[in-house]
Amino acid sequence: MKHFTTIKDIARELNISVSTVSRALRDTYDVNKETRDKVLAMAAELNYKPNFNATGLAKGSSHNIAVILPFITNYYFSTVITGIQEVAYQGGYNIVLHVTNDSPERELSIVNNLPITSLDGLLVSISSSSDACNHFQEVMNMGVPVVFFDRVAANIETSKVMQDDYNGAFEAVEYLISCGYKKIAHIAGPEGLTFTQRRMQGYLDALKKHDIPVKEDWIICSGFSQECGESDAYQLLECADVPDAIFAVNDRKAIGAMLTLKKRNIKIGKEMGVMGFTNDPASTIISPTLTTMAEPAFDIGRKSCELLLKHIAKSYFHPEEIVLPGRLIARESTMR
Amino acid sequence: MKHFTTIKDIARELNISVSTVSRALRDTYDVNKETRDKVLAMAAELNYKPNFNATGLAKGSSHNIAVILPFITNYYFSTVITGIQEVAYQGGYNIVLHVTNDSPERELSIVNNLPITSLDGLLVSISSSSDACNHFQEVMNMGVPVVFFDRVAANIETSKVMQDDYNGAFEAVEYLISCGYKKIAHIAGPEGLTFTQRRMQGYLDALKKHDIPVKEDWIICSGFSQECGESDAYQLLECADVPDAIFAVNDRKAIGAMLTLKKRNIKIGKEMGVMGFTNDPASTIISPTLTTMAEPAFDIGRKSCELLLKHIAKSYFHPEEIVLPGRLIARESTMR
DNA sequence: GTGAAAGCGCTAACAC
DNA sequence: GTGTTAGCGCTTTCAC
């Protein structure tokens, strides 16, 4: 069982050599049009499917790219993957998915056990606390290109694709200020992640520009989940001086915070402004709807895959860093 | 560049034959313990990584399984994938992701272009209107096992994993009845999809059991999106006799319907009950929170992957149909 | 217990 | 323009 048609079968059937078949199938070199047509016809008739293992082995390249990321069960990442898929599919590449659950150990184990020899490249978004990214450097040293997206490794020189975290945050905070909020807190992501730091910096610089002093108590670093947002908000409400607006590192935390505010019967918008980052569909489901900085998730997926394919195509491709702008979407959570 | 350590390198280094290295590495046949240890040590030292293309070619099996599904950008499917990943990862399998965007053409094209020769099996959830599932039958005929989950192909004999759509719907509708709702509408999914039909049947039978006559106007079939839920609800509100409860085929449609009701200032729960199916996280974000039949998405992923691995392991594995129960979660949208 | 050699399906010189 | 042949890295008889 499980015998597939091979080029040998086609060759035998047509009384020609395998190399001619191979050439005809790939439409390369000069093959007599007649011969090629015959081959193609026979291939179709026998329902020939190329064996990627064999091709990969012979050419030293599979058509697989690995995607390694923390989660897929959220809007942002699943949309990025869809974008990646789109480009990969066009280019005839398969994407092999690896989910780290945001665990550095798991990430390390995945990378170390990667079938690196049958992988043309890697697309990765690192897990929260994997400060040590040597494992990716090693992969690159072996000649397998890596492109980072969203959560990028700061000290590895390769192409990276991300949203404009700094300016997005800056703009977001300026918007809150323009709405009249004066005591703006920031519930941030885990420390150590580049994009988290950038959003933080955008927040800080926006305050600075408008001569608003920074209050340590109003900056809380924790996880990315909705639950973290809820508890961060509780913590803010405990402050001696309670803020009048919250800028969250992402929508899920913003939503968590809103849930807390609603429980405490604090009027969102009027008494306390809330601003997110992502444009998760949930931001239009919650009431009041959430003002947010929309991230170009789909394009980040597309772009990073396009870059990876370029790296794969030419080994000397010069690394590029692409920064995609966000888009502020004003909704009810910042209406006073 | 891009030379990886091969078993040949190890053999040369140790002055033994490649076959011995191969045997030692796989810990099979009788290999002298000493020899094996030496091989293992050398493999580690040279950072040896097996070449899956070569293994696959020689053994006639890769370690890849393809996952084909309509979308990944929603809670249900992304959770299923996470479950699949979990099991695949344990078993040393890679998952190759294919997204059909719920387009039958795309699905067909994906399946026809599948690197079937370097795939050990398929895990699939069919697209809405792919009534013709011959392409999957063909794959199976070629000796590649296929397991369906959630959206299963009715007329293909192989293992299938799904939630208990019929009883879930039945129970959901009985619950609505027990809450005192008497005029229960159903906003359903596209016709022709098995699980949609089953939920519909559960709805019909529950009404029947309680001697509630079925009203054609109160049953609307459309897409799965939130937008469809919104417009379905508008349509229901147009009915001469407006229903007092809506049972939606999934949470997204239920949420869409709620948005419509809110726009029309209809008190959800009190004036009109709403019940969903899935337990999407959004169901706790919306206000009032949404009563729903929780689906065991993660377990569906796990189970279907486990079954597929069994099919792969033995070609004569007898097909199993696994039906996982749901769990009713009562929330505010059904409180009168 | 280990080695030699053939072969998995395909590609790529190298001949002709 | 086409055929011959070696080889990609690994597994697996078949000897010894």
CB-CB neighbors (< 8 A) of B315 in chain A: 1
> Could you tell me which residue, B203 or A336, shows the higher pLDDT?
B203
Q: How many helices (H) and strands (E) does chain A have?
A: 13, 12
CB-CB neighbors (< 8 A) of B82 in chain A: 71-73, 99
Domain of A43: which CATH number? 1.10.260.40
Cis peptide before A319, with omega less than 30 degrees from 0?
no
Instruction: Provide the number of CB pairs (under 8 Å) joining chain A to chain B.
Output: 141
CB-CB neighbors (< 8 A) of A62 in chain B: 53
Both B217 and B250 in a single domain? yes
Distance (Å) from the alpha carbon of B206 to chain A's nearest alpha carbon = 30
Whether CB of B50 is under 7 Å from strand D: the answer is yes
Beta bridge partners of residue A184, listed in sequence order: A245
pLDDT for B130: 59
Question: Which of A81, A144, A286 is opposite residue B72, by nearest beta carbon?
Answer: A81
Question: Which of A49, A51, A60 is opposite residue B2, by nearest beta carbon?
Answer: A60
Q: Which of A49, A80, A50, A46 is nearest to A62 (CA)?
A: A50
Beta carbons of B50 and A2 less than 8 Å apart? no
Classify residue A2: in a domain, yes or no.
no
CB-CB neighbors (< 8 A) of B114 in chain A: 49
Alpha helices in A123-225 (DSSP H): 134-141, 165-178, 194-209
Residue A281 DSSP symbol: T
A120 to chain B: closest CA residue: B2
Distance (Å) from the alpha carbon of A21 to chain B's nearest alpha carbon = 18
Classify residue A121: in a domain, yes or no.
yes
In sequence order, which residues have a C-beta less than 8 Å from that of residue A110 and are 6 or more positions away? A68, A98, A100, B89
> What would the two tokens of residue B185 be?
């509408």
CB-CB neighbors (< 8 A) of A4 in chain B: 116-117, 142
Classify residue A87: in a domain, yes or no.
yes
CB-CB neighbors (< 8 A) of B91 in chain A: none
Q: How far apart are CA A171 and CA B108, in angstroms?
A: 45
Classify residue A37: in a domain, yes or no.
yes
Dihedral in degrees, nearest 10, Cα atoms A317, A319, A321, A322: 10
Over residues B325-333, the mean pLDDT reads 98
Both A220 and A284 in a single domain? yes
Question: Which of A62, A282, A286 is opposite residue B53, by nearest beta carbon?
Answer: A62
Q: Which of B195, B243, B240, B252 is nearest to B219 (CA)?
A: B243
Both B88 and B144 in a single domain? yes
CB-CB neighbors (< 8 A) of B60 in chain A: 2
Strand C CB shell (< 7 Å): A 3-4, 6-8, 18-19, 22, 25-26, 48, 50-51, 54-55, 57-59; B 15-20, 23, 29-32, 34-36, 54, 57-58, 60, 117
> What would the two tokens of residue B302 be?
């796990």
pLDDT tens by residue, B127-185: 886 567 889 998 998 889 999 999 999 889 999 999 999 999 999 999 999 999 999 99
Classify residue A307: in a domain, yes or no.
yes
Instruction: Answer whether B308's CB lies under 8 Å from B123's CB.
Output: yes
Both A181 and A291 in a single domain? yes
Neighbours of B129 (CB within 10 A): 14
Both A195 and A278 in a single domain? yes
Both A101 and A154 in a single domain? yes
Both B303 and B220 in a single domain? no
pLDDT tens by residue, B14-54: 999 999 999 999 877 678 888 889 999 999 999 898 888 89
Q: Which of B158, B231, B228, B164 is nearest to B194 (CA)?
A: B164
Classify residue A55: in a domain, yes or no.
no
Residue A305's pLDDT band (cuts 50, 70, 90) = very high
pLDDT tens by residue, B204-260: 999 999 999 999 999 999 999 999 999 999 999 999 999 999 999 999 999 999 999
Task: Select the residue from A9, A111, A118, A253 to test the B interface by mutation, using most B Cβ atoms within 10 A.
Answer: A118
**Gap from B122 CA to C4 C1', in Å?**
38
B5 to chain A: closest CA residue: A117
pLDDT surpassing 70 at residue A131: no
Residue A114's pLDDT band (cuts 50, 70, 90) = confident
Question: Which of B82, B95, B118 is opposite residue A51, by nearest beta carbon?
Answer: B118
* Residue B48, CA distances (Å) to B39, B92, B141 in order: 11, 17, 37
Q: How far apart are CA B130 and CA B103, in angstroms?
A: 8
Both B64 and B158 in a single domain? yes
Record the pTM: 0.92
Beta carbons of A143 and B56 less than 8 Å apart? no
pLDDT for B331: 98
Residue A92's pLDDT band (cuts 50, 70, 90) = confident
pLDDT tens by residue, B76-130: 999 999 999 999 988 888 899 999 999 999 899 889 888 888 899 999 999 886 5
Report the number of distinct structural domains present in chain A. Answer: 3
Classify residue B2: in a domain, yes or no.
no
Q: How many helices (H) and strands (E) does chain B have?
A: 13, 12
Both A263 and A309 in a single domain? no
Over residues A323-335, the mean pLDDT reads 97
Q: What is the largest CA-CA distance in chain A?
A: 88
pLDDT surpassing 60 at residue A1: no
Whether CB of B285 is under 7 Å from strand D: the answer is no
B264-269 LR contacts (CB < 8 Å, sep 24+): B264/B237, B266/B237, B268/B332, B268/B333, B269/B332, B269/B333, B269/B334, B269/B335, B269/B336
Classify residue A54: in a domain, yes or no.
no
Domain of B249: which CATH number? 3.40.50.2300
Instruction: Answer whether A203's CB lies under 8 Å from A152's CB.
Output: no
Residue nearest to nucleotide C8 (CA to C1'): B58
Beta carbons of B53 and A50 less than 8 Å apart? no
Beta carbons of A99 and B82 less than 8 Å apart? yes
pLDDT for B2: 63
Both A178 and A230 in a single domain? yes
CA atoms within 13 A on the CB side of B250: 25
Both B286 and B188 in a single domain? yes
Beta carbons of B143 and A2 less than 8 Å apart? yes
In sequence order, which residues have a C-beta less than 8 Å from that of residue B252 and are 6 or more positions away? B74, B224, B225, B226, B229, B278, B280, B282
Both A191 and A255 in a single domain? yes
- SS3 assignment, position B288: coil
**Gap from B8 CA to D15 C1', in Å?**
21
- SS3 assignment, position A41: helix
Alpha helices in chain B (DSSP H): 7-14, 18-26, 33-45, 52-59, 75-90, 104-112, 134-141, 165-178, 194-209, 226-238, 251-263, 282-285, 297-313
Beta bridge partners of residue B274, listed in sequence order: B246
Domain hosting A37: range is 7-49
Nucleotide closest to B9 measured between CA and C1': D9
Q: What is the largest CA-CA distance in chain B?
A: 88
Q: How far apart are CA B10 and CA B199, in angstroms?
A: 59
Looking at chain A, the whole-number percentage of residues with pLDDT higher than 90 is 73
